[in-house]
């Protein structure tokens, strides 16, 4: 059973035929900046697998501080070219190879409260330096749905046309990141896609895992932020790579998440069924939540391959088998923008 679970998980991380076809048409090499975070390693591995399946000569490169030397070795063994750099150091940044395609994942979220200067440096200053370095590349810049105001639950979430109204300095700095890339797109003609993600999940981290662990440990779950959007990390990474074909000048904005508005209460109750635990709740659902409308994303790339029920069952089994997880909280219930 344990081996079957791991095999199922690994299968859900393999490239789709659509991704392979898209990368077969992509010209040039791929650079992933900030590749040492939660999504970067899996994104790099997905890219190298898809490039190999497409039979192209594109190189996949990963740039990060790589404070974990083991991760750098792991990526190298997968065929990924690694570049240990401090992106805030201009000499190191501008010494990176020139490439035709860039995915920008660098940024700071958790620990921003009390460390606001570094937050702004990472989220708003660094994008300007990256935009100058890679002004001639297709550039997919990871952003967040936190730039939006809260939406009425029944509205279906903010669309790409919704005006930003970020709550708190983290979200404000993320809007700063977007504005800098938008400026570069207009000033240099750089093809850019602003990739507003909300929320990627995996068996090792994310909103669903946090809800599941709360239920499993018989702790009360706060329902104040009563509704969320999520997307499987593998699907989010696929969309990021396929988005290299949709970069434009002026910059294109794209909401990236699952098409469903999920009730936190109902998710917890389903986990209760799967884990054999009765969920405990505190608080009541507010009439608004941080929600994004994924209609445009579905139009461009189709529905995510991994559905909600599959995610719930996989995460429940993962926890019941006692497998490794990241215990860092997501703070998805935060309503005042303090991360």
Kind of pairing between the strands at 231-232 and 200-201:
parallel
**DSSP class per residue in 140-192:** EEEEEGGGSPPEEGGGT-B-TTSPP---HHHHHHHHHHHHHHHHHHHHH---E
Alpha-carbon distance 203 to 209, whole Å? 7
pLDDT at 219 over 80: yes
Partners of residue 197 on adjacent β-strands: 144, 256
* Paired tokens of 116: 């606001």
| More confident position, 335 or 186 | 186
User: What pLDDT is recorded for position 2?
Assistant: 62
Residues near 118 by beta carbon (within 8 Å), at least 6 away in sequence: 108
Does the pTM exceed 0.85?
yes
Whether residue 191 has pLDDT greater than 60: yes
Please, which residues have CB within 8 angstroms of residue 152's CB and are 6 or more apart in sequence?
A: 287, 288
Model pLDDT for residues 27-72, shown as the tens digit of each residue: 999 999 999 998 999 999 999 999 999 999 999 999 999 988 899 9
Under the banding of pLDDT at 50, 70 and 90, the label for residue 114 is confident
Residue 333 predicted with pLDDT over 80: yes
Question: Looking at residue 331, what is its pLDDT?
Answer: 80
Sequence-distant (≥ 6) Cβ neighbours of residue 230 within 8 angstroms = 199, 200, 201, 206, 207, 208, 257, 258, 262, 308, 311
Task: For residue 123, give every residue at least 6 positions away whose Cβ sits within 8 Å of its Cβ, in sequence order, or none.
Answer: 107, 108, 170, 173, 174, 176, 177
Q: What would the CATH number be for the domain defined by 2-204+232-258?
A: 3.40.50.720
CB count within 10 Å of CB 316 equals 23
What ranges in the chain are assigned the alpha helix state H?
A: 2-11, 17-24, 40-54, 69-77, 90-94, 116-120, 126-133, 168-188, 207-216, 233-242, 264-275, 295-301, 308-320
pLDDT tens digits for range 131-170: 999 999 999 999 999 999 999 999 999 999 999 999 989 9
Per-residue pLDDT reduced to its tens digit, 73-106: 999 999 999 999 999 999 999 999 999 999 999 9
Summarised one tens digit per residue, pLDDT across range 172-185 is: 999 999 999 999 99
On average, the pLDDT of the chain sits at 95
* Residue 111 confidence class, pLDDT cut points 50, 70, 90: low
Q: What is the pLDDT of residue 339?
A: 66
pLDDT mean over 298-311:
96
Number of Cβ within a 10 Å radius of residue 248: 12
Provide the residue ranges of all domains of the chain, joining segments of one domain with +: 2-204+232-258
Determine what percent of the chain is predicted with pLDDT higher than 90.
87
Per-residue pLDDT, 328: 78
pLDDT value at 338 more than 90: no
Please, are residues 163 and 113 in contact by the beta-carbon 8 Å criterion? no
CB 227 within 8 A of CB 291: yes
pLDDT tens digits, 251-272:
999 999 999 999 999 999 999 9
Taking the C-alpha atoms of residue 107 and residue 34, their distance in angstroms, rounded to an integer, is 8
Residue 1 above 70 pLDDT? no
pLDDT band at 315 (very low <50, low <70, confident <90, very high): very high
Cα separation, 76 vs 58, whole angstroms: 15
Return the pLDDT at 291.
Answer: 97
């Amino acid at each position: 059973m344990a081996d079957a679970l791991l095999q199922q998980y690994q299968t859900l991380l393999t490239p789709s035929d659509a991704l392979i076809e898209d990368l077969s048409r992509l010209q040039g090499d791929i650079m992933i900046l900030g590749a040492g975070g939660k999504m970067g390693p899996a994104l790099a591995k997905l890219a190298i697998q898809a490039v190999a399946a497409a039979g192209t000569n594109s190189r996949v490169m990963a740039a990060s501080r790589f404070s974990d030397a083991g991760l750098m070795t792991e990526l190298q063994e997968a065929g990924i070219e690694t570049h240990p750099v401090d992106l805030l150091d201009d000499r190191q940044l501008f010494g990176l190879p020139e490439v035709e395609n860039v995915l920008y994942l660098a940024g700071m979220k958790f620990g921003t409260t009390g460390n606001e200067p570094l937050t702004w440096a990472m989220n708003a200053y660094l994008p300007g330096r990256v935009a100058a370095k890679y002004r001639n590349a297709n550039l997919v810049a990871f952003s967040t749905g936190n730039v939006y105001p809260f939406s009425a639950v029944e509205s279906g979430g903010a669309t790409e046309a919704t005006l930003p109204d970020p709550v708190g300095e983290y979200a404000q700095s993320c809007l700063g990141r977007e504005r800098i890339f938008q400026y570069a797109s207009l000033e240099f003609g750089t093809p850019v896609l602003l990739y507003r993600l909300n929320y990627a999940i995996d068996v090792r981290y994310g909103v669903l895992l946090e809800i599941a662990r709360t239920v499993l440990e018989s702790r009360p779950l706060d329902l104040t932020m009563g509704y969320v959007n999520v997307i499987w990390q593998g699907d989010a990474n696929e969309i990021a790579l396929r988005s290299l074909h949709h970069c434009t000048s002026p910059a294109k904005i794209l909401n990236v998440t699952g098409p469903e508005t999920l009730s936190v209460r109902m998710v917890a109750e389903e986990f209760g069924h799967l884990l054999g635990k009765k969920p405990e709740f505190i608080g009541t659902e507010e009439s608004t939540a941080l929600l994004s409308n994924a209609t445009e994303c579905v139009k461009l790339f189709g529905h995510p391959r991994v559905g909600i029920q599959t995610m719930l069952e996989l995460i429940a089994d993962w926890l019941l088998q006692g497998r490794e997880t990241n215990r860092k909280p997501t703070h998805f219930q935060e309503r005042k923008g303090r991360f």
